[in-house]
Amino acid sequence: MNIHAYEKLWLIAALLLIVGFVATITYGAVGLGIAMVDDSEETLDPNALDEHERFGDLGVHQTGENQYDVNVRAYQFNYDPGTTAVHDPIVLPENSEVTFYVTSSDVIHSFSLVGTNVNSMVIPGEVSAMTVEFGDPDEYGILCNEYCGSGHHAMEGIVQVVPEEDFHLFSIESVDAHESVEPGDDLELTATVANDALAEETAAVDLEIGDETYENEVTVDAESTGTVTFTVDTGSLDTDDLEALDWTVTVESGSPATFDDGTESGSVDLEGQGEDETGTDDDGTATEDEEGDE
């Protein structure tokens, strides 16, 4: 059989095209390492995320010099962390490689980082893992692309990529303070600061009490805690007409880098103040002013 030279050429070209299509599809499905969220992996209980090893500890965790894991819970209609109206934004340092682990505690959502290739369904009981490399400081929006209910259109969050010097993983673990103090005496408050980063860092810690702010700092080893003590001369504070002094200890990270709370508050009773204003009973014990003011 005689086949015309042009016909042969076209037959070969068509065959090559078919082989090319199959090759690109195979490469896209297997070669890029993209895995679909499916039920072959170990599932988790969406109603018991608090007890889960990863999702019981939401937020940013350092895993290597420039590597971070971020554990996120999606739920109607927020990301925790991420949605700034109810939680902290997700804050990460520049030039970092970040893996987001996202799950849902109710219905199917998605986790899409606008401007990156991060875009996955988020299914209750399953974990969506996505790795992205961040360069210069920038801000990225998180969007939900799966219809998930009446608030779907407003389900969003923020990822802030900040300069390295502004990024810390400090949190206030606890504050020890006297329960009461005689006005004029010294008051001591000791704050325990945790550093979850993999390197030693110095934390700036502020104490606000009365109308004064005291500044202090503490250098904390990697993955460790350190304490910083404030000594406040209550005689220098305006304590007139006060029953108690409210205090707030804040670790200044320069940005809301930590998902863990960076502040702790409390109050210290001022001995001999307050009670007399509400009057005393015949037997001399103080009365509460539950019936309102005199």
Name the residues that contact ligand CUA, by CB under 6 A. Answer: 77, 109, 144, 146-148, 152, 155
| Nearest-approach distance from CB 157 to ligand CUA, in angstroms | 11
| Nearest-approach distance from CB 73 to ligand CUA, in angstroms | 12
Nearer to ligand CUA, 78 or 258 (CB): 78
Nearer to ligand CUA, 54 or 152 (CB): 152
| Nearest-approach distance from CB 105 to ligand CUA, in angstroms | 12
Backbone angles phi, psi at 114, to 5 degrees: -60, 130
| Nearest-approach distance from CB 80 to ligand CUA, in angstroms | 12
Cβ atoms 225, 175 nearer than 8 A: no
Distance, in Å, from the CA atom of 44 to the CA atom of 31, rounded to the nearest integer, reads 28
Distance, in Å, from the CA atom of 290 to the CA atom of 294, rounded to the nearest integer, reads 10
Cβ atoms 290, 278 nearer than 8 A: no
Nearer to ligand CUA, 106 or 223 (CB): 106
Which residue matches tokens 């210290």?
A: 268
Nearer to ligand CUA, 37 or 244 (CB): 37
Beta bridge partners of 79: 74
| Nearest-approach distance from CB 109 to ligand CUA, in angstroms | 3
| Nearest-approach distance from CB 149 to ligand CUA, in angstroms | 7
Parallel, antiparallel or unpaired: strands 244-252 and 201-209: antiparallel
- ∠ CA 246-251-252, nearest 5°, is 115
Nearer to ligand CUA, 118 or 187 (CB): 118
Distance, in Å, from the CA atom of 217 to the CA atom of 61, rounded to the nearest integer, reads 23
Nearer to ligand CUA, 74 or 197 (CB): 74
| Nearest-approach distance from CB 145 to ligand CUA, in angstroms | 7
Nearer to ligand CUA, 77 or 247 (CB): 77
Parallel, antiparallel or unpaired: strands 156-162 and 90-93: parallel
Distance, in Å, from the CA atom of 182 to the CA atom of 180, rounded to the nearest integer, reads 7
Cβ atoms 90, 139 nearer than 8 A: no
What letter does residue 114 receive in the DSSP assignment? T
- ∠ CA 203-89-223, nearest 5°, is 35
